[in-house]
Amino acid sequence: MKTYRILMSRTYNTSIEMNFPDDGRDHMKKINECIELGDENIWDLIAEKELEQMDISNDSWEISEINNNTRTGALSPDTGPF
């Protein structure tokens, strides 16, 4: 059996809109914090919008055979985990 890895490279942009009350708080800072901290609610919304809006402008791929006998990691035993 042979195993292949396919690496897809795609370029696309996604936008989402969020509504907040005009109450003087720094909503942009809060949104940024949620994105950086991996808040599930905002990332779920982004993922949903990505699927809706995905209009790929650049599509390329690379296919490589995975050699199951190849050791991955450091090449020298004195620098690697073995």
pLDDT tens string 21-58: 999 999 999 999 999 999 999 999 999 998 888 877 77
Residue 50 lies in a domain: yes
pLDDT value of position 29: 95
Residue 78 lies in a domain: no
Residue 22 lies in a domain: no
Residue 40 lies in a domain: yes
pLDDT at 79 over 50: no
- What's the total number of domains in the chain? 1
User: Which tokens is 47 given?
Assistant: 């993922």
The DSSP call for residue 79 is T
pLDDT value of position 20: 93
Residue 52 lies in a domain: yes
Residue 54 lies in a domain: yes
Q: Mapping DSSP to helix (H, G, I), strand (E, B) and coil, where does residue 40 land?
A: helix
Residue 72 lies in a domain: no
pTM of the model: 0.54
Residue 81 lies in a domain: no
